[in-house]
Each structure stands twice: as structure tokens, then as C-alpha cells.
């Protein structure tokens, strides 16, 4: 999947980037999803006389509503909503953790008097993070709304929302997307952790945004949070992406550090649906090497016996639905018979995602007539989407499932595949059938 960061892109450039991806998709004949990552609110201090100032540990430093240039005693905070929300003992982090203040006194809406606990140079428009403060602002700014409409116009598949604090933030985006794209919650604020279950429930997917989490929370807490989100998303059957600094050194080096390799492998061992590159591929000197390195790490982990032991130990019980019962049955049959391919006929992609929740040691071929469903399902663990017209009867369903298993190179003549579908065909949410099929020469000839 390609992620497009709207923090660095205009609407016209968005259209151009999406067109590039669609051209690649046509060439490789594989559904390629596009994720648009909305910028979210950017909280920053104002400006300083001389562009910067030195503040020292123990100093008193004031954040206020006065727009005049700041100095070593005070600076403008052009966010009245923050000045209204801050309370004594709240921590204020500036410049990605380089400076840390603790609020001592507040005049709501006017100023906050703080004590400097980590000092240094503070300069113009540095970012502000508030790990203790519930900020009464929408996760979507006017820019985000404009970018979101542009993203809908060009037909992106996923929308990532930054600055999520509450489930209502996701609901707000869904009112705009209206099913035209799925919505992914970036977990990067401590406030989101207090309502994490609700946020996961309403979201279509999750991202562990470790960079921002590591600024607002003690670094040592981030790995545990990563595991909590990864396992919670898997329990719900929703894709989860582990992101930020995975191969950071490859921005300037052709090979990663051993610690970075271990970090990527850990995310794969945890059962994450995806691992993400950002600066490594967007601005780095070795983007192809970074992608191929990440791919090799993931493939190697999945060949390890220990990997499947860990995956099995985290297996969630099926929910009491027909689709989950069928998905669990397909998983058990695949394990019992050593079948490498599960073919899932799906109109929305949901059937493939429920099978992916099971984490079978089999590739899941998602057969769908919907281009949107094919692109969206690509994010799912082990899912290989194929676009094709819907089946018109059981024999057609079985024949074409076997044909595509051969065409994709995932199975060959003499092997068996599992076919999962819903009858009547083309009815979303009607998954109610599982079948074992033998691949014959006629299937290979048709492929």
C-alpha cells in the first residue's frame, strides 16, 4: 500500500501521486491501495525576538495569549483552546521532547505559568505536545476537511486520521467518507489510550504511530502499547500497521542496524498486518533497498517455526457469527490437510478479513468483482486480492477458484484448495459455505 502524507502535499500533487499509483497498478495487474494520511492539528508556539531564547531548568516560563514576540520569560501560544484546557501539574512538551514544562498556575484562556524541568533553546513555531491534556478540538482542521474531500474525489481507498483522542473523531471522518474509503485511526496521543477499545471498535484499521507516542509518553511504555494495540486489533479482525523509524538508518545507509532488523521482525512475530516505511522510502537515499530489506525480514520470520507457535498462542476465539464459524472451519481444514490456499469469494472484502483474523498458514485469495474491495483487502494479513466477475453457481465458483489459484502461482495441479463463499452469491455478509476442491489439468489450461 502507498501512503501519501498530506502534511507535505497540495491537492494538485495528490491527484498526480494517485494517478502514478494507478498507472503502476495497471502495469502490474495487482490491486494497489492508496492511503491518504491527514495532517491533523499542528500545535505550535509563536515567535521570539531574535528568533529564539534560552530557558533554564527551574525558570518560570509563561505561555500566553499576547501575540507580541517572546523572550526568555514568555511566548505567545496561539491556541486559546489549549490555554483553556491546561491545568496545574499538566506537562507541556516542546520541540519533540527537547524542552519540558510543568504547569503551575493557569488563568483560563489567558495564560499558563509553567516551571521549566528540561531546558535549552526554544525557537520560533516549535511544536507543542500535551500528554496530560484533553484538548477540545476536532482531529480535523479546515485543511484536513479540504484534503479529505480531495481524497474522495480522486478515489483513495483508506484515510488515516492523526491526533485521534476519542471515537467521535473517527465518526466525524466517516460522516464525510460515507463508505467511499475506509478509516484508519493513528494511535499517537496518550488520550487515545484511555478510550482505546471504543476507538478500535469504530475504526476500520489501526496504526501504531510510535514516533509521536514516544514523544508524549515515556519511551519504555511504547513497546507494551504496540503489543496491546496489535493484539486488540487482531481480536477484532481489523488490520493493524506498525509504523515509524522501523529502518530509520536506511535514510542515509544502504543497510539497517541489527536492532532495526529485530524491530521489524518483532512486529511481524506479533502478527501485525503491515509494517510501514516513511522517510526511508519518501526522502531517503536507498528507498528500493529499504523496501526489499523489509520484505526479506518479513518473509524470513514467516519461515521460522517459532513464528507459527507465537501466532497460534494469540489465537482469538471466533465470534458467534456464521462468517466467523466458516472462517474458523476453513482454518482448521487447512491445518489438518496441509492446504496452502484458501479462496474466499467476497463482495465487500469482509470474508477475506475474517479469515485473515484466523491467521491460517495459507495464502488467502480474495476473489471479488469490486475493485474497491480488492484494493481495501490488500491491507489484510496474508490476503491476495483478485478481481473477477461474481460466480453464478457452485460449479463456476469452484472452477474459477482453482483456476486463479494456479494463475497466481500459489497452487498447482494435484493440490487441493479450500473455497469459501456465501449463497446466494453477491450478498454481503452471507458467508455460509466451505468446500474442498482438487485442482485438475483443466484448471491449469484455463489459467
Domain boundaries, the chain: 2-41+137-310, 49-129, 322-446
Which three three-digit cell numbers place residue 205?
A: 484499521
Q: What is the pTM of this model?
A: 0.92
Which three three-digit cell numbers place residue 138?
A: 476536532
- If one counts every other C-beta atom within 10 angstroms of the C-beta of residue 35, the result is 24
Residue 46 CB burial class (10 angstroms; 0-12, 13-18, ≥19): buried
- Per-residue model confidence (pLDDT) at position 121: 97
pLDDT, averaged in runs of 10, over the chain (447 residues):
92 94 95 96 94 96 97 96 95 94 96 97 95 90 95 98 96 96 97 96 97 92 96 96 97 98 97 96 96 98 94 91 94 96 95 96 96 97 96 93 96 97 75 94 94
Helices 258-269, 305-313: axis angle to 10 degrees equals: 50
Q: What is the C-alpha separation between 130 and 135, in angstroms, rounded?
A: 8
Q: Which CATH superfamily is domain 2-41+137-310 in?
A: Phosphoenolpyruvate-binding domains (3.20.20.60)
Sequence-distant (6+) residues with CB within 8 A of 221 are: none
- Per-residue model confidence (pLDDT) at position 429: 67
- If one counts every other C-beta atom within 10 angstroms of the C-beta of residue 338, the result is 10
Query: Over the chain, what HEC string results?
Result: CEEEEHHHCCHHHHHHHHHHHHHHHHHHCCCCCEEEECCCCCCECCCEHHHEEEECCCCEEEEECCCCCECCCEEECCCHHHHHHCCCCCEEEECCCCEEEEEEEEECCCEEEEEEEECEEEECCCEEECCCCCCCCCCCCHHHHHHHHHHHHHCCCEEEECCCCCHHHHHHHHHHHCCCCEEEEEECCHHHHCCHHHHHHHCCEEEEEHHHHHHHCCHHHHHHHHHHHHHHHHHHCCCEEEECCCCHHHHCCCCCCHHHHHHHHHHHHCCCCEECCCHHHHCCCCHHHHHHHHHHHHHHHHCCHHHHHHHHHCCCCCCCCHHHHHHHHHHHHHHHHCCCEEEEECCCCHHHHHHHHHCCCCEEEEEECCHHHHHHHCCCCCEEEEECCCCCCHHHHHHHHHHHHHHCCCCCCCCEEEEEEECCCCCCCCEEEEEEEECCHHHHHHC
- Per-residue model confidence (pLDDT) at position 11: 87
Q: Which residues are catalytic?
A: 3, 44, 186, 244
Q: Which CATH superfamily is domain 322-446 in?
A: Pyruvate kinase, C-terminal domain (3.40.1380.20)
Q: What is the C-alpha separation between 39 and 143, in angstroms, rounded?
A: 8
CA angle 277, 279, 285 (to 5 degrees): 105
**How remote is the C-alpha of 159 from its chain's centroid?**
9
* φ and ψ of 30, to 5 deg: -135, 135
- Per-residue model confidence (pLDDT) at position 137: 85
- Per-residue model confidence (pLDDT) at position 430: 75
Q: Which CATH superfamily is domain 49-129 in?
A: PK beta-barrel domain-like (2.40.33.10)
Amino acid at each position: 500500500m502507498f501512503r501519501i502524507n498530506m502534511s507535505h502535499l497540495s491537492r494538485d500533487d495528490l491527484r498526480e501521486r494517485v494517478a502514478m499509483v494507478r498507472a503502476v497498478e495497471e502495469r502490474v495487474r495487482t490491486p494497489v491501495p492508496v492511503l491518504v494520511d491527514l495532517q491533523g492539528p499542528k500545535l505550535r508556539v509563536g515567535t521570539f525576538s531574535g528568533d529564539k531564547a534560552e530557558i533554564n531548568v527551574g525558570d518560570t516560563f509563561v505561555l500566553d495569549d499576547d501575540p507580541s514576540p517572546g523572550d526568555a520569560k514568555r511566548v505567545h501560544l496561539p491556541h486559546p483552546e489549549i490555554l483553556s484546557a491546561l491545568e496545574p501539574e499538566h506537562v507541556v512538551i516542546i520541540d519533540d521532547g527537547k524542552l519540558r514544562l510543568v504547569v503551575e498556575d493557569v488563568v483560563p484562556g489567558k495564560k499558563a505559568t509553567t516551571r521549566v524541568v528540561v531546558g535549552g533553546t526554544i525557537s520560533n513555531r516549535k511544536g507543542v505536545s500535551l500528554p496530560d491534556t484533553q484538548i477540545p478540538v476536532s482531529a480535523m482542521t479546515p485543511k484536513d476537511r479540504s484534503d479529505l474531500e480531495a481524497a474522495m474525489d480522486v478515489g483513495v481507498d483508506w484515510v488515516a486520521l492523526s491526533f485521534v483522542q476519542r471515537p467521535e473523531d473517527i465518526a466525524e471522518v466517516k460522516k464525510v467518507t460515507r463508505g467511499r474509503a475506509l478509516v484508519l485511526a493513528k494511535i499517537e496521543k496518550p488520550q487515545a489510550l484511555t478510550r482505546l477499545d471504543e476507538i478500535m471498535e469504530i475504526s476500520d484499521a489501526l496504526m501504531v504511530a510510535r514516533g509521536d507516542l514516544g514523544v508524549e509518553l515515556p519511551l519504555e511504555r511504547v513497546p507494551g502499547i504496540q503489543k496491546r494495540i496489535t493484539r486488540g486489533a487482531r481480536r477484532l479482525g481489523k488490520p493493524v500497521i506498525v509504523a515509524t523509524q522501523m529502518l530509520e538508518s536506511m535514510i542515509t545507509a544502504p543497510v539497517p542496524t541489527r536492532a532495526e532488523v529485530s524491530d521489524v521482525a518483532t512486529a511481524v512475530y506479533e502478527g501485525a498486518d503491515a509494517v510501514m516505511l516513511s522517510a526511508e522510502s519518501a526522502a531517503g537515499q536507498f528507498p528500493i533497498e529499504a523496501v526489499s530489506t523489509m520484505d526479506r525480514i518479513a518473509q524470513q520470520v514467516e519461515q521460522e517455526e517459532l513464528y507459527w507457535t507465537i501466532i497460534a498462542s494469540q489465537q482469538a476465539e471466533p465470534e458467534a457469527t456464521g462468517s466467523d464459524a466458516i472462517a474458523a472451519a476453513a482454518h482448521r481444514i487447512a491445518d489438518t490437510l496441509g492446504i496452502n490456499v484458501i479462496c474466499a469469494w467476497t463482495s465487500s472484502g469482509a470474508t477475506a478479513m475474517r479469515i485473515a483474523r484466523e491467521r491460517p498458514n495459507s495464502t488467502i485469495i480474495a476473489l471479488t468483482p469490486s475493485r474497491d474491495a480488492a484494493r481495501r483487502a490488500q491491507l489484510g494479513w496474508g490476503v491476495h486480492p483478485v478481481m473477477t466477475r461474481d460466480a453464478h453457481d457452485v460449479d463456476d465458483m469452484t472452477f474459477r477458484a482453482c483456476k486463479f489459484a494456479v494463475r497466481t502461482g500459489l497452487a498447482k495441479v494435484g493440490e487441493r484448495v479450500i473455497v469459501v463463499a456465501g449463497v446466494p452469491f453477491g450478498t454481503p455478509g452471507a458467508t455460509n459455505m466451505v468446500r474442498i476442491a482438487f485442482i485438475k489439468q483443466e484448471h491449469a489450461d484455463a489459467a
